[in-house]
């Protein structure tokens, strides 16, 4: 509950900031990503997906790829219990493409592992 109160407080603070400034935008995205991750840890998968998808939409609106691959992975992981296997796979593939573009080999290896696991299920 303390985490949720801190999250609410941070969101209120960010609503007073100009998200045209990159540091505020990136901070806001990071706070929302962290909260979605927290929701997954509490097994609140629907809420986590909602938070992540809203944040992905914000990234698209603001034309930034910051945290986009991790957000896509989070949706795939959180949705594994109830989304169609192909939907989950598509989130991973989209994240994989971003990792290729931005040359992130560590995350790319994680995604390849997720895709392999998905194919063995």
The answer to whether 92 touches 73, Cβ cutoff 8 Å, is yes
Query: What pLDDT shows up at residue 76?
Result: 97
Predicted confidence (pLDDT) at residue 116 exceeds the cutoff of 90: yes
Residue-wise pLDDT tens digits, 24-43:
999 999 999 999 999 999 99
pLDDT, averaged across the chain: 96
Q: What percentage of the chain exceeds 90 in pLDDT? A: 95
Alpha-carbon span 3 to 1, nearest angstrom? 5
Alpha-carbon span 28 to 59, nearest angstrom? 11
Domain boundaries defined on the chain: 2-120
Per-residue confidence band for 81, with pLDDT thresholds at 50, 70 and 90: confident
How far separated are the first and last CA of the chain, in Å rounded? Answer: 35
Alpha-carbon span 17 to 108, nearest angstrom? 33
**From the candidate CATH numbers 3.10.20.340, 3.40.50.2300, 3.30.365.10, 1.25.40.10, the one assigned to the domain spanning 2-120:** 1.25.40.10
């Amino acid at each position: 509950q303390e985490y949720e109160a801190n999250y609410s407080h941070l969101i209120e603070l960010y609503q007073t900031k100009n998200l045209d400034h990159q540091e505020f935008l990136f901070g806001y995205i990071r706070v929302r990503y962290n909260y979605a991750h927290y929701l997954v840890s509490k097994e609140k998968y629907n809420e986590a997906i909602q938070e992540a998808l809203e944040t992905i939409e914000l990234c698209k609106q603001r034309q930034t790829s910051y945290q986009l691959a991790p957000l896509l992975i989070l949706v795939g992981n959180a949705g594994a219990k109830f989304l169609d296997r192909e939907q989950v796979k598509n989130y991973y593939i989209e994240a994989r493409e971003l990792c290729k573009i931005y040359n992130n080999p560590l995350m790319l290896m994680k995604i390849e592992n997720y895709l392999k696991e998905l194919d063995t299920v």
